[in-house]
């Protein structure tokens, strides 16, 4: 049987239930003094979800090396099993985001296995940044913006296949990230390359089902180190605007220049109805793809502060998709994804605690100190008891990592899954 024995989760929770009850009551009392109803926060948290990327459950790597761990998933069905465990213990990752061609399989079988492990499917991800085995034309010099129309047509066709697979399994969105760009000044004509990209994207957008959304993901650099065709949120916004009302911008937290004010970009995209969703991760230097909230949890909170602000005032068309997009090089990927999903939910819970009336009054009065203290008061609050109580009530684990380790799931799958040389591990 896939997954973790519910009896083990119950026993693990039993050992922690009394302490949690006391912590939850203490937090409820503290929030009550701040006129915040803890049950209301918990209810909003229970409705929150973040998708797990199928590629995240395998060990990632750098361009130097990859150091796989025991029990690496051998394919998409093993990945779905691992993603199911993440949701079983955290109850905050109800969907998985697939990557084609790595996860190509019979749609009916995909749906059946996902259902078995309690998961649905989030946005589909196309891949035209690597050559798939047997592919007639190479993406070495680009895909959707390639100078050769035949390469562009092949890349468009691949995206249409992703939509078709997604339709068969109940996905409602396609995320497009291209690696197209140049490594030398003069190598590529900026304007013509972007025109070709837009033309290809129009063909993909034209094939988008009525109830689907198209996300364009920007990235400043890498693998192209001089120029990238979709390099920043401005170009992503232009793309979404050119394409039409079902095209949106996807913000990967690692895809900006260092120290860029990402929460402000988020606010701008919300204001103009073009925020499609997120790839959550954290970074210290570049596109490090570290675990969400591991380096700068305050920044993650400030992003969610904008999201809750938009949610509370009912910003038109506001429905961002939440996904993790990380590379786990030195940790157990399942543990990292559980912790990261929890960190994203934590930032949401903290942002829900912001006293927006006080914040707005401080802003109107130009009281900079009170404004920033209002945010800090929410960020400083230890919301772990709300997160743990929400998990407990939904059948998850009070302490997901402890329960996972106690289950010995990793050791069990290591026996069942012989080591393989390589799986698709690219991270975008």
Site residues, Mn ion (CB under 5 A): 252, 279, 325, 428
Least distance from Mn ion to the Cβ atom of residue 265, Å: 15
Nearer of residues 87 and 279 to Mn ion, judged by Cβ = 279
Q: Which is nearer to Mn ion, 124 or 428 (CB)?
A: 428
Closest approach of Cβ 287 to Mn ion, in Å? 8
Distance (Å, rounded) from C-alpha 383 to C-alpha 346? 7
Structure tokens at 319: 């429905």
- Of residues 127 and 381, the one with the C-beta less far from Mn ion: 127
Query: Contact, 158 vs 144, CB < 8 A?
Result: no
Nearer to Mn ion, 252 or 335 (CB): 252
Under a CB-based contact definition with an 8 Å cutoff, are residues 400 and 92 in contact?
no
Nearer to Mn ion, 72 or 289 (CB): 289
263 or 325, CB closer to Mn ion?
325
Q: Which is nearer to Mn ion, 197 or 278 (CB)?
A: 278
Pick from 63, 22, 90, 28: nearest CA to 343 = 90
Helices (H) and strands (E) in the chain, counts: 15, 11
Q: How far is the CB of 218 from Mn ion (least distance, A)?
A: 10
Query: Cα–Cα distance between 92 and 97 in angstroms, integer?
Result: 14
Rounded to the nearest whole angstrom, what is the least distance from the CB of residue 279 to Mn ion in the complex? 3
Q: Shortest gap between Cβ of 99 and Mn ion (angstroms)?
A: 11
* Total residues found in the chain within this entry: 428
Q: Please, are residues 274 and 240 in contact by the beta-carbon 8 Å criterion?
A: yes
Place of tokens 């013509």: 192
Q: Which is nearer to Mn ion, 129 or 141 (CB)?
A: 129
Rounded least distance, CB 323 to Mn ion, Å: 8
Taking the least distance from each CB to Mn ion, the nearer of 230 and 388 is 230
Q: How far is the CB of 428 from Mn ion (least distance, A)?
A: 5
Distance CA 224, CA 378 (A): 40
- Angstrom CA distances, 168 to 104, 154, 425, stand at 12, 21, 24
| Pair 426, 24: CB distance under 8 Å | no
In whole angstroms, the minimum distance from the beta carbon of 54 to Mn ion comes to: 13
- Residue 180 or 325: the one with the smaller Cβ distance to Mn ion is 325
User: What beta strand segments (E) does 203-360 contain?
Assistant: 213-217, 227-228, 247-252, 275-280, 321-324
Q: How far is the CB of 291 from Mn ion (least distance, A)?
A: 14
Q: Which is nearer to Mn ion, 103 or 252 (CB)?
A: 252
Pairing of strands 227-228, 181-182: antiparallel
Q: Which parts of 332-367 fold into alpha helices (H)? A: 333-352, 356-364
User: Is residue 278 within 8 Å of residue 251, measured between CB atoms?
Assistant: yes
Smallest separation, CB 399 to Mn ion (Å): 29
Nearest-approach distance from CB 102 to Mn ion, in angstroms: 14
Q: In 125-151, which positions are buried (b, 16+ CB within 10 angstroms) versus exposed (e)?
A: bbbbebeeeeeeeebeebbbbbeeeeb
Instruction: Determine the Cα–Cα distance for residues 260 and 232; give it in Å rounded to an integer.
Output: 11
The three state secondary structure string of 348-411 is HHHHHCCCHHHHHHHHHCCCHHHHHHHHHHHHHCCCHHHHHHHHHHCCCCCCHHHHHHHHCHHH
Q: What does the DSSP assignment read for 13-76?
A: HHHHHHHHHHHHHHHHHHHHHTT--HHHHHHHHHT---BEEGGGGS----SS-----TT---SH
């Amino acid at each position: 049987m896939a997954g973790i024995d519910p009896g083990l989760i119950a026993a693990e929770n039993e050992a922690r239930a009394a302490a949690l009850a006391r912590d939850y009551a203490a937090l409820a009392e503290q929030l009550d003094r701040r006129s915040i109803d803890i049950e209301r926060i918990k209810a909003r948290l229970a409705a929150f979800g973040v998708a797990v990327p199928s590629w995240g459950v395998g060990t990632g790597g750098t361009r130097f090396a990859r150091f796989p761990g025991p029990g690496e998933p051998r394919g998409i069905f093993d990945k779905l099993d691992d993603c199911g465990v993440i949701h079983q213990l955290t109850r905050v990752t109800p969907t998985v985001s697939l990557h084609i061609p790595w996860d190509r399989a019979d749609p009916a079988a995909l749906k059946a296995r996902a259902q078995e492990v309690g998961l649905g499917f989030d946005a589909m991800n196309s891949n035209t940044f690597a050559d798939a085995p047997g592919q007639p034309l190479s993406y070495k010099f680009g895909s959707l913006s390639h100078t050769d129309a035949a390469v562009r047509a092949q890349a468009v066709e691949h995206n249409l296949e992703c939509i078709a697979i997604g339709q068969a399994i109940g996905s409602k969105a396609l995320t497009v990230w291209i690696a197209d760009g140049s490594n030398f000044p003069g190598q590529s004509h900026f304007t013509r390359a972007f025109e070709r990209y837009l033309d290809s994207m129009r063909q993909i957008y034209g094939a988008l089902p009525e109830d689907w959304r198209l996300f364009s993901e920007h990235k400043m650099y890498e693998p192209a180190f001089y120029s990238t065709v979709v390099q920043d949120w401005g170009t992503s916004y232009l793309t979404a605007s050119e394409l039409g009302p079902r095209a949106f911008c996807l913000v990967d937290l690692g895809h900006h220049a260092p120290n860029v004010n990402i929460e402000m970009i988020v606010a701008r995209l919300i204001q103009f109805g073009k925020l499609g969703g997120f790839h959550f991760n954290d970074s210290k230097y570049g596109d490090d793809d570290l675990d969400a909230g591991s380096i700068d949890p305050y920044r993650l909170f400030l992003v969610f502060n904008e999201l809750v602000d938009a949610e509370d005032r009912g910003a038109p068309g506001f429905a961002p998709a939440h996904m993790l997009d990380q590379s786990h090089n030195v940790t157990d990927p399942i543990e990292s994804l559980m912790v990261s999903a929890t960190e994203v939910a934590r930032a949401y819970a903290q942002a829900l605690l912001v006293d927006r009336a006080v914040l707005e009054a401080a802003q109107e009065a130009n009281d900079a100190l009170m404004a920033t203290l209002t945010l800090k008061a929410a960020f400083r609050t230890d919301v772990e008891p709300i997160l743990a109580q929400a998990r407990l009530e939904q059948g998850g684990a009070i302490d997901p990592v402890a329960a996972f380790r106690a289950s010995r799931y990793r050791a069990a799958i290591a026996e069942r899954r012989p080591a393989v040389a390589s799986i698709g591990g690219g991270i975008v």
